[in-house]
């Protein structure tokens, strides 16, 4: 199995953590010198992309992991209890779509981080360009900071809240990890794998957030290493059969941030807008890019909820008391992305998360 990815990539790190835990052999290569062929066959050059031995491509880390779970059922990362499974998927979606902003902010707003990562990315993603290395580094820095920081709602006014998103995530995780080695059991679940996206390759490796994690939240740094090394574990899978009470802090944070963003993004997409604004906790964001993909994320969460039995739905709702969560089971906000309508992911033609 070939993984087209980048060594400092958010979602590549997530997928690699999963593959290592499952013991699935893979070879990683950088995709950009071959991007014309990959885009034609996969739909978008958005890492990671898996090229299979049968010639098919798999895109998007979430459905890719779901597909691999069907093919490699040993050591499952999806809880067998449907209610716990839904909560795990909710945490994964938050990790994928909300913490992205904080991760990119730290990487491209602090000079030491920006200089280091521009060197790495210039050498991994731009060597096919016939330009001097210093020019390629400049282009990487300008593109990443403009697109993923300045054009994603980060201003002097929102900066404290963007930073707090990182801290609040670690606080919520720590409340759960005080009681067991992984978020939802004695072995990793999709919640752990999802959070490895931001926590491994960004917060755990980029100089500024890594120092914060190491010095202020060392138990999270220990968890990152534990998940990365979980493939060496012996014994059976052991995931919880009920949602733990200690998940409440993290679930409250998700309601007040990620769910708010999903709602306002879907409303703006339905109106045909290109940008939107939102009030998340005490912070007002403006000029956020509308994402068709995140409308799709909301669709998928709703599908997962409605696939539950009435008793299971009631159980989920008991763990999600915040008013924002009504978005997941009420239809007053339309979510119609018209993406992957036939639910062929990860074998469909992918789209970019941000336009």
Peptide bond connecting 46 to the previous residue in cis, omega within 30 degrees of 0:
no
pLDDT higher than 80, residue 64: yes
Mean pLDDT of the chain: 95
The two structure tokens encoding residue 307: 């696939």
How far, in whole angstroms, is CA 74 from its chain's centroid? 23
pLDDT higher than 90, residue 354: no
67 — pLDDT class (breaks 50, 70, 90): very high
pLDDT higher than 80, residue 238: yes
For the chain, the structural domain boundaries read 2-71
pLDDT tens per residue, range 187-209: 999 999 999 999 999 999 999 99
pLDDT higher than 80, residue 32: no
| pTM as predicted | 0.96
pLDDT of residue 98: 98
| Section 71-93 average pLDDT | 97
pLDDT of residue 119: 95
Q: DSSP secondary-structure letter at 128?
A: T
pLDDT tens per residue, range 146-158: 999 999 999 999 9
Separation in Å, CA 73 to CA 20, 24, 70, 348: 14, 11, 6, 22
2 strand-pairing partners: 27, 51
Higher pLDDT, 44 or 331: 331
Instruction: Evaluate whether the domain defined by 2-71 bears CATH number 3.40.50.720.
Output: no
pLDDT higher than 90, residue 346: yes
31 — pLDDT class (breaks 50, 70, 90): confident
């Amino acid at each position: 199995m070939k993984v087209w990815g980048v060594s400092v990539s958010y979602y590549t790190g997530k997928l690699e953590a999963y593959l290592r835990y499952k013991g699935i052999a893979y070879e990683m290569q950088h995709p950009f010198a071959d991007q014309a062929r990959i885009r034609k066959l996969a739909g978008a050059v958005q890492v990671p992309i898996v090229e299979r031995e049968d010639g098919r491509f798999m895109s998007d880390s979430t459905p890719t992991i779901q597909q691999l779970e069907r093919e490699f059922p040993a050591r499952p990362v999806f809880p067998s209890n449907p209610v716990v499974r839904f909560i795990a998927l909710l945490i994964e979606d938050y990790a994928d779509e909300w913490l992205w902003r904080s991760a990119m902010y730290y990487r491209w707003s602090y000079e030491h981080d920006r200089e280091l990562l521009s060197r790495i990315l210039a050498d991994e993603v731009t060597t096919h360009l016939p330009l001097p290395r210093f020019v390629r580094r400049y282009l990487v820095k300008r593109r990443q900071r403009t697109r993923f920081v300045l054009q994603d709602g980060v201003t002097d006014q929102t900066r404290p809240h963007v930073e707090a998103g990182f801290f609040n995530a670690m606080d919520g995780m720590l409340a759960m990890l005080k009681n067991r080695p992984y978020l939802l059991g004695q072995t990793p679940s999709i919640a752990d794998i999802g959070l490895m996206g931001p926590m491994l390759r960004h917060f755990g490796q980029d100089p500024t957030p890594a120092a914060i994690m190491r010095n202020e939240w060392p138990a999270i740094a220990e968890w990152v290493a534990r998940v990365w090394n979980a493939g060496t574990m012996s014994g059976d899978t052991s995931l919880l059969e009920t949602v733990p009470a200690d998940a409440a802090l993290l679930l409250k944070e998700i309601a007040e941030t990620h769910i708010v963003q999903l709602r306002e993004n879907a409303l703006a997409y339905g109106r045909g807008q290109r940008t939107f604004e939102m009030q998340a906790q005490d912070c007002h964001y403006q000029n956020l890019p509308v994402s068709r993909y995140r409308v799709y994320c909301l669709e998928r969460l709703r599908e997962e909820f409605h696939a539950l039995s009435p008793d299971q739905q009631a159980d989920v709702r008991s763990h999600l008391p915040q008013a924002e969560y009504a978005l997941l089971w009420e239809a007053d906000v339309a979510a119609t992305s018209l993406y992957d309508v036939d639910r062929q992911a990860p074998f469909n033609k992918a789209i970019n998360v941000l336009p």
